[in-house]
């Protein structure tokens, strides 16, 4: 009787820890950032917990930008294996200011303050047909530095698709700029 | 007797899984890439397992470069807390070629093929006083794309310090280009 009980505890403990370990690598639990109406929160700790997809440097006479794109755990591995993003994948793209200096390598540019964040959550099931922030296989969100936790996009077709249109054939993501999606 | 044995198994199982979970976040086990003589191997899977510190875009008429810097698990959290890198921290810096295109945001540059990798391992204890690849608190290594697994630096003072000299006061690392070291 006691042995049976202890065995159950062992199995429960193993199960719980296995589940935690698996989540660390590929949980695809992006919907934990979404409420029942489809409102999207910005993930906290993504700089410590998500993995780098790539970086964009936009040269613009009005001010250069550097974009850092992060993906939730396991996203790149899944993409390499399946040639698509897993349902529940979260992408966070920081829009950063830049500074630069002449270094031994040349005119070197790096990221400084973050001005905005784009968040996308892969939705392969069309979960929020009535939300103007969900469609074309993704949830779409925008946060700005004056209120970093306030989602300010109102309609992804107006606010987001304009820039993403050229990447439509790649599920709206500029995968060519993300080396880890092609090779680890 | 059986109950005691089972209890031992429970505790062992919990201990083992706890240890795995902790390693996922902050193992600082960089010395697993080093042999007894101080020879450094390039970590595999760092694109999937390490976290982004930052990115550098070097504008050079002879060809732009984009550098991606990755750090081993927990490195940034430790640095923010202690204002220094943990013993055993691994840094990997990819030197990538670039491509660019006019996009809605401007002239946008992204990383393509990797031409070289710099690897540094934090050594707070001066473990390899006789190796010319260890000193000033770090192990220093260089790998090039024609033989990606062959370490080709011969003397860090000649091969590495020249470019790192301006960052000497920050333990030889250009921390200003790594936002996550300052704020998560």
Q: Among residues B96, B167, B176, which one has the least CA distance to residue B138? A: B167
Mean pLDDT score of chain B: 90
* Residue A135 backbone class (left: φ over 0; alpha: ψ -120 to 50; beta: rest): left
In this complex, is the C-beta atom of B180 within 8 Å of any C-beta atom belonging to chain A? yes
Mean pLDDT score of chain A: 90
The per-residue pLDDT for A21 is 41
Task: Compute the nearest-CA separation of B125 from chain A (Å).
Answer: 27
In this complex, is the C-beta atom of B13 within 8 Å of any C-beta atom belonging to chain A? yes
ipTM of the complex: 0.85
Q: Nearest Cβ partner of B104 from A14, A20, A162?
A: A162
Task: Compute the nearest-CA separation of A82 from chain B (Å).
Answer: 16
DSSP secondary structure of B40-67: BPPPSSHHHHSEEEEEEEEE-TT--EEE
For residues B67 and B81, give the distance between their C-alpha atoms in angstroms, rounded to a whole number: 26
Task: Compute the nearest-CA separation of B145 from chain A (Å).
Answer: 14
* Residue B25 pLDDT > 90: no
- If pLDDT is split at 50, 70 and 90, which confidence band does B10 have? low
**In the predicted model, what is the mean pLDDT of residues B102-118?**
95
**Strands A106-122 and B65-71, how do they pair?**
unpaired
The per-residue pLDDT for A11 is 56
pLDDT tens sequence across B142-156: 999 999 999 999 999
Residue B163 to residue A104, Cβ atoms within 8 A: yes
pLDDT tens sequence across B78-100: 999 999 999 999 999 999 999 99
CATH class of B26-181: alpha beta
Distances (CA, A) of A155 to A14, A115, A130, B34, B166: 45, 20, 11, 52, 47
The per-residue pLDDT for A6 is 60
Among all residues of chain A, which has the CA nearest to that of B14? A13
The per-residue pLDDT for B9 is 57
Percentage of chain B lying above the pLDDT 70 cut: 86
- If pLDDT is split at 50, 70 and 90, which confidence band does A19 have? very low
In this complex, is the C-beta atom of B124 within 8 Å of any C-beta atom belonging to chain A? no
Interface with B, mutate which of A110, A145, A167, A178 (most B CBs under 10 A): A110
Total-model pTM: 0.86
Residue A106 pairs in a beta bridge with A103
Contacts of B112 in chain A (CB under 8 A): 179
Interface size, chain A vs chain B, as Cβ–Cβ contacts under 8 Å: 161
- If pLDDT is split at 50, 70 and 90, which confidence band does A13 have? low
pLDDT tens sequence across A43-99: 999 999 999 999 999 999 999 999 999 999 999 999 999 999 999 999 999 999 999
Q: How many CB atoms lie within 10 A of CB A19?
A: 10
Residue A104 to residue B162, Cβ atoms within 8 A: yes
Residue B52 to residue A51, Cβ atoms within 8 A: yes
């Amino acid at each position: 009787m006691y042995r049976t009980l202890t065995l159950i505890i062992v199995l429960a403990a193993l199960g719980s820890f296995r589940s935690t370990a698996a989540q660390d690598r590929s949980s695809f639990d992006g919907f934990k950032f979404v409420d029942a109406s489809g409102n999207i929160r910005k993930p906290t700790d993504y700089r410590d917990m998500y993995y780098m997809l790539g970086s964009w440097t936009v040269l613009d006479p009005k001010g250069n930008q550097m974009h850092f794109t992060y993906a939730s755990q396991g996203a790149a591995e899944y993409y390499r294996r399946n040639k698509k993003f897993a349902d529940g994948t979260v992408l966070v793209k920081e829009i950063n200011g830049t500074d630069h200096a002449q270094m031994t390598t040349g005119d070197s540019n790096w990221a400084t303050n973050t001005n905005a964040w784009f968040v996308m959550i892969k939705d392969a099931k069309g979960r929020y047909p009535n939300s103007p922030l969900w469609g074309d296989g993704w949830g779409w969100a925008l946060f700005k530095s004056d209120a970093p936790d306030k989602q300010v996009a109102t309609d992804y077709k107006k606010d987001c698709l304009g820039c993403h249109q050229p990447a439509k054939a790649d599920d709206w993501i500029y995968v060519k700029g993300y080396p880890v999606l092609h090779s680890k």
